[in-house]
Each structure stands twice: as C-alpha cells, then as structure tokens.
A and B are shown apart, each in its own frame.
Chain A
Amino acid sequence: NAGVMQNPRHLVRRRGQEARLRCSPMKGHSHVYWYRQLPEEGLKFMVYLQKENIIDESGMPKERFSAEFPKEGPSILRIQQVVRGDSAAYFCASSPSGVGNEKLFFGSGTQLSVL
C-alpha cells in the first residue's frame, strides 16, 4: 500500500492562473480531508469529502476554492485565479471510516507557489 499519494509535489503558478491539486487516498479509504499550512502556521482544516459528496467545507475560502472526490479517480482541490496569498503547503489525509478522531494518514503535500 503506497499510502496517500499527492501530486504534484511542487506547483508554481502565476497570479490569475488555476491550480489543481490531486490526492489519491490509501487503498480502502473512502474519506478524504484537505488541510492547508500557511508559512509559520499549523495545518488548518479545509474540507472533508466522501466519494461524490462534500461532507464539510467549512474551512474553505468562500471564493475561488472548490473540491471534489469523484466516484472514480483522485480527489481534486481546485483553486481558480490564484493570488500570492494562496502560496502554502496543501496536505491531503484519508481514513477508512470517518469516525471522529480516527487516525488520519497524510500525504506528502503539495507546495503551491504563486508568483
């Protein structure tokens, strides 16, 4: 089991472009969580998804950010019209059942740099 796979590891975008971050959960896991880590900060919850459903997106900025977890394929975190403040490390985590406080398995993260 390769664990949670995120790609790309590094993504460079110019202001106004779109960023797409991908996350494949561990085999057998159907619950995916996205966290963002700004410089000098802790990880902050963004969104929780199950297959084809957004369960909780309370941590997502109201505009430009969206997430999906289709029936087939990886979960995608999409940032439209990126700005410099979007520069951060984006981590994906997965768990098998989504029970509260279950152990999360994290990916290696995607470092987004906006020029």
Chain B
Amino acid sequence: AQRVTQPEKLLSVFKGAPVELKCNYSYSGSPELFWYVQYSRQRLQLLLRHISRESIKGFTADLNKGETSFHLKKPFAQEEDSAMYYCARGGSNYKLTFGKGTLLTVNP
C-alpha cells in the first residue's frame, strides 16, 4: 500500500528562520507528489506539486527519488505561513494518499 510519512506532527520556528517540513513516501512506480496547506479557518488547498517545479509563496519542494522524499522548504519563514501542511502522493490514478500533516507555527 502507498504510504506518506510526515515525521513531525508539530514544527515551531521563529520569523525569518529557514523551515523544512519533511515528507517521505513509499516507493512504487512514478509518484506524483503534492503539498496541500490548510490555513486557520480555511479550506485545504493545493500549495504546489512536483511536476510543476514551481515556487509558491516562497516555498519549494524537490522530489528526491533516491531518498523517496519530497521535503517542503522555505528560506525565511513568515508568520502568515503558520498552517497545517499535508504531503500527498498520487500515482497512476486519481486517488491521493495523504500524510498525517505537520502543524507549522511561525513565532514573531
């Protein structure tokens, strides 16, 4: 079965510090990896996906097939980045497998 592991349930950093949210996935075929974010009192929304190789709100994520990881990074965290972050993987179909999520708190 596909698995997505987010080892940190909680992550707290200070404003301006670098942040890295970890995500590992079980290897199987050619995965499609995503990061979804849920800000307080808002809906779950797509932040970025690896096939786009984009940077959204200063966040980037690189797919590392050797380590089966898709860590989310931002060099300088902002208070408005505080949210719940979910790593998810797709595959050859429409189903997404989500990690348990990491609650990021950026302190002033």
Contact with B along A75-107 (1 / 0, CB 8 A): 000000000000000010001001111111111
Given contacts A40-B100, A42-B4, A43-B86, contact A103 B95 (CB under 8 A): no
Given contacts A3-B43, A106-B43, contact A100 B94 (CB under 8 A): yes
Contact B90 A101 (CB under 8 A): yes
Report Cα–Cα, A41/B97, bound state, in Å: 11
Partner of B94, one of A3, A4, A43, A48: A48
Partner of B86, one of A42, A56, A99, A109: A42
Nearest-CB distance from A21 to chain B (Å)?
16
Nearest-CB distance from A30 to chain B (Å)?
13
Nearest-CB distance from B75 to chain A (Å)?
26
Contact with A along B83-106 (1 / 0, CB 8 A): 000101011111111111100000
- A residues less than 8 Å from B88 (CB atoms): 43
> Closest residue to A58 on the B side, CB-wise?
B95
Report Cα–Cα, A27/B95, bound state, in Å: 21
Nearest-CB distance from A46 to chain B (Å)?
10
Report whether over half of chain A's contact residues are helix, strand or loop; otherwise say mixed: loop
Partner of B98, one of A44, A95, A101: A44
Nearest-CB distance from A66 to chain B (Å)?
19
Interface residue range, chain A:
20 to 34
Report Cα–Cα, A35/B6, bound state, in Å: 19
Contact B99 A42 (CB under 8 A): yes
Partner of B100, one of A42, A45, A100: A42
Does any Cβ of A come within 8 Å of B45's Cβ? yes
Chain B residues proximal to chain A, CB less than 8 Å: 4, 6, 32, 34, 36, 43-46, 49, 51, 86, 88, 90-101
What are 24 A-B residue pairs whose CB atoms fall within 8 Å in the complex?
A: A4-B43, A35-B96, A42-B86, A42-B97, A42-B98, A43-B96, A43-B98, A45-B96, A48-B94, A99-B94, A100-B32, A100-B90, A100-B91, A100-B93, A100-B94, A101-B49, A103-B49, A104-B96, A105-B45, A106-B36, A106-B43, A106-B45, A108-B43, A109-B43
